[in-house]
Structures are given as structure tokens and as C-alpha cells.
């Protein structure tokens, strides 16, 4: 009898929502993660937090999260009967790559996590199609196993009623949007984000949609995740590499006492023996445009945008040598990079159908997209400041 009551309690403390997030929303968050993520909190995990987006001059990327956060909060409050009581405590994108897993635990299992009352895990891609391994298991109750499918959401209490685990990822990158909710207003994520946004506004950074990389150590991946002297790679460089791109910097590496400073510098992109003679402000700028092309490939193909395609020239032997020299520094283990990021679906398409004209169109479309989001956050911030809350605003009604 006691076991039956425990199982019933476990079932009442969790909710599965199918197709809660649209395919378009999933793809947009995937784009943001793959163009902005850093090395995560555990081996083989990559993360993108909202505060990190602000810190890297990409606060406009918060906009796609806002309607999803609102819908999830309403659903959690409705299911657990706590309307108007909850605050979002944390929002983040998490990429689980080959070898990543986590054993049995509850989400409030540390003293500094006791403010977490409810959890939501949103799947942005699908088991089987995009990755293998990575099944989600509850220790007790039903359903006991969740097969991640794009758009589905698992909501549950963050306490010991929902001890859970995630199987090791065998291949690909398992992408999730994770949110935690709290009744404790002192842990309200919105208040912290608004403060960060206002600081960016005062420094005039909100008026620019060009990203600024964080410390190079935040992008360095190695199996030991310790020192850049070990075999490993810069994850921004690696994500470009697996899609067939090389990087050429105007400055020689010998000009820098710290080679990682180069990642902040302007660069051009190459493929094979061709150089696209257009300058990107830094590696994150180039990565965002490339990942935008992956996300919007079909729209780029059909776009009627008129752009002046930058000149495409053949690489000189000296330029090819410089590319190889830098690659050996930032991709010390290229095989490991290809193993971790090998399951890049758009990579195969790029290899077969890539042309620089489409890339130039994607670059122009990315700028329009980023500019629109930037305008949206500038217009929204004044309302968020007054309400001390981040919420979706329809300016068509203003």
C-alpha cells in the first residue's frame, strides 16, 4: 500500500507535455546555443546561460526565450496549483555531447540549490535522429523513462520525489532548454538580468548586435578540461572546422604575447583553397553567421535579397601556411573535435551544395535578424524595468 501511494505521489509530481515548443522555436534556440555556448559545468557538456549572452554582447538573443519562459511558468503554476507564486530561478541551454551523462540525483541536492522547487526540461532535438544514448530516467513512478523528442517538455518537482538520471550520450549532441522555478523572490533571475541589461545600456553596448567573445578559457575543451597546454580545442573554432571552414587572421600570431587574444581580432573565412574576402569582427561574429546559414538554409536558398558578394580569391601558399599554423594551436586535437561535433546535419549539405553567394545572403539576413532582436530588447527594457520582470510585449498593440 505504501509503495502504491509513493508511486501515485510521484506521478502527481511530474507532467509530460508533447510538442509544447514549436519546431521553429527549437531550431532558433539550437542556433543560439551552437553560436554562443561555452564549455559547461561537467565533462562533455556545453552551456549557454542568459547572463553569458548579455556578457558577450548578445543580449538580443534573450528575446526568443521570453515567450517560452512565460508559457512554461504558467503551465508549472497551473499544474502544481501555485498561480502567481513562482519566479524563474535559472534559464539555460545545455548541450550534452558524446560521453556526457549524470547519475541519480534530485535538482535540489545541494545546500545552495534548495531554492529550486520545480524543474522543466525542454528537448530541442530528438533521440535517434540527432543523437544516440541520453535517455532520461526517473528512479520511481511512471513514466520511468523519457525518450527525448524535439518540442517535448518534462516538468517535475525538484525534490527527492523526482530523483532522475541521464544515460551516457553515445553520439551526436543532445540539446535541452532547462529552467528551474522558485517561490523565493530573492532568487528571481529576472531581477539579475534586468540589472545586467541596464549596465549594458549605460555602456552603450545594447545598441550593437556584434558579439564579443568571453575569456578564451571558457571556450577551451579538453578531456581533462583543465589547461590549454593539454590536447584539446577551442569550441568556436571546432564548430566552424566541422562545417568545412578555416580561419585567416590579418595579424600574425607572433604579434601577440597571449595567442588567445587573437580570438578577439578581425578575420576572414576560407573553404578549401578559396578565401571569402569579407572581414568579420571576431570569431563569434563569424560563427553566428555560419550557424545562421545552417538554421535558415532553405530560406537563404529562396531569398530574393540583393547583396554585393564579397570577392572570392584563391588562397596563397603563405595564407594556407598561416591557416595551418593557427589551426594547430586552436585545434590541438582535431580528431577529438570531429568526434565531439561530428553529428552536424547541415555539414553534409554544406559540403555538397555550398556557394559563397548564398553565404553572403545569409550574412545580410543574419544582420537583419540581429538588428530586429536588438531593437526589440531596447524597446522592452523600459517596461521590464518598471515591472521588475521580463515578459513578452506585443508592440503591434502599442
Domain membership flag for residue 124: yes
Q: How many domains does the chain have?
A: 2
The pLDDT of residue 398? 46
- Report d(CA 217, CA 221) in Å as an integer: 9
In the beta sheet, which residues pair with residue 39? 46
Select from 153, 174, 207 the last residue of a domain. Answer: 207
pLDDT, tens digit (0-9, with 9 covering 90-100), for 84-95: 899 999 999 999
Span 264-300, pLDDT tens digits: 999 999 999 999 999 999 999 999 999 999 999 999 9
- Same domain for 201 and 256: no
Q: C-alpha angle 378/289/259, rounded to 5°?
A: 100
Query: Residue 237's pLDDT is what?
Result: 96
* Same domain? 164 vs 240: no
186 with 157, same domain: the answer is yes
> Do 362 and 258 lie in a common domain?
yes
Q: Quick one: DSSP state of residue 223?
A: S
Q: How many C-beta atoms surround the C-beta of residue 297 within 10 A?
A: 16
Residue 374 CB contacts under 8 Å (≥ 6 apart), including other chains: 60, 206, 207, 208, 209
Domain span at residue 368 reads: 216-376
Closest CA to 94 of 16, 34, 18, 139: 34
Read off the pLDDT of each residue in 198-204 and give the average, rounded to a whole number. Answer: 82
Whichever domain contains 162, its CATH number is: 2.60.120.620
Based on the domain organization, do 158 and 46 belong to the same domain? Answer: yes
In this structure, the chain runs to a length of: 398
Q: What is the DSSP string of 29-74?
A: HHHHHHHH-EE-SSTTEEEEEHHHHHHTT-GGGGTTHHHHHHHHHH
pLDDT in tens, 130-178: 999 999 999 999 999 999 999 999 999 999 999 999 999 999 999 999 9
With a cut of 50, say whether residue 1 has pLDDT above it: no
Nearest to 54 by CA among 220, 189, 238: 189
CA 313 to the chain's CA centroid? 33
- Last residue in a domain, options 155, 183, 207: 207
Rounded to the nearest 10°, the torsion over CA 245, 251, 257, 263 is -40
- Which pLDDT score is estimated for 384? 97
Backbone angles phi, psi at 231, to 5 degrees: -60, 135
Does residue 7 fall inside a structural domain?
A: no
Residue 35 lies inside a defined structural domain of this protein: yes
Domain annotation covers residue 371: yes
Summarize pLDDT for 48-61 with one digit per residue, the tens. Answer: 999 999 999 999 99
- Is 243 in the same domain as 169? no
Amino acid at each position: 500500500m505504501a509503495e502504491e501511494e509513493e508511486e501515485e505521489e510521484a506521478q502527481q509530481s511530474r507532467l509530460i507535455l508533447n510538442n509544447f515548443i514549436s519546431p521553429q522555436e527549437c531550431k532558433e534556440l539550437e542556433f543560439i546555443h551552437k553560436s554562443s555556448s561555452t564549455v559547461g559545468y561537467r565533462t562533455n557538456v556545453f552551456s549557454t546561460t542568459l547572463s553569458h549572452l548579455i556578457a558577450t554582447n548578445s543580449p538580443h538573443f534573450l528575446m526568443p526565450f521570453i515567450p517560452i519562459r512565460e508559457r512554461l511558468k504558467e503551465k508549472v503554476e497551473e499544474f502544481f496549483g501555485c498561480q502567481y507564486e513562482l519566479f524563474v530561478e535559472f534559464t539555460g541551454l545545455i548541450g550534452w555531447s558524446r560521453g556526457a551523462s549524470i547519475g541519480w540525483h534530485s535538482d535540489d541536492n545541494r545546500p545552495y540549490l534548495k531554492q529550486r522547487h520545480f524543474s522543466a526540461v525542454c528537448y530541442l532535438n530528438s533521440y535517434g535522429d540527432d543523437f544516440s544514448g541520453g535517455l532520461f530516467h526517473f528512479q520511481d513512478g511512471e513514466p520511468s523513462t523519457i525518450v527525448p523528442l524535439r518540442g517535448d517538455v518534462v516538468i517535475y518537482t525538484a525534490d527527492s520525489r523526482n530523483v532522475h538520471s541521464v544515460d551516457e550520450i553515445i553520439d551526436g549532441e543532445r540539446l535541452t532548454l532547462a529552467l528551474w522555478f522558485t517561490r523565493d523572490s530573492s532568487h528571481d533571475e529576472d531581477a539579475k538580468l534586468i540589472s545586467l541589461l541596464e549596465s549594458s545600456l549605460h555602456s552603450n553596448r545594447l545598441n550593437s548586435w556584434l558579439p564579443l567573445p568571453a575569456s578564451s578559457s571558457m571556450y577551451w575543451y579538453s578531456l581533462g578540461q583543465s589547461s590549454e597546454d593539454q590536447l584539446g580545442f577551442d569550441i568556436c573554432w571546432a564548430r566552424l572546422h566541422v562545417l568545412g571552414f578555416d580561419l585567416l587572421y590579418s595579424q600574425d600570431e607572433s604579434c601577440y604575447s597571449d595567442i588567445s587574444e587573437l580570438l578577439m581580432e578581425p578575420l576572414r573565412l576560407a573553404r578549401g583553397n578559396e578565401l571569402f574576402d569579407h572581414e568579420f569582427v571576431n570569431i563569434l561574429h563569424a560563427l553566428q553567421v555560419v550557424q545562421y546559414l545552417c538554421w535558415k538554409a532553405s530560406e537563404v536558398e529562396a531569398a530574393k535579397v540583393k547583396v554585393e558578394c564579397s570577392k572570392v580569391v584563391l588562397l596563397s601558399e603563405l595564407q594556407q601556411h598561416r591557416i595551418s599554423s593557427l589551426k594547430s594551436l586552436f585545434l590541438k586535437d582535431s580528431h577529438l573535435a570531429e568526434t565531439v561535433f561530428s553529428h552536424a546535419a547541415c555539414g553534409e549539405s554544406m559540403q555538397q551544395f555550398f556557394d559563397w553567394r548564398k553565404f553572403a545572403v545569409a550574412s545580410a539576413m543574419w544582420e537583419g535578424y540581429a538588428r530586429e532582436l536588438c531593437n526589440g530588447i531596447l524597446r522592452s527594457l523600459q517596461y521590464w524595468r518598471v515591472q521588475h520582470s521580463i515578459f513578452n510585449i506585443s508592440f503591434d498593440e502599442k
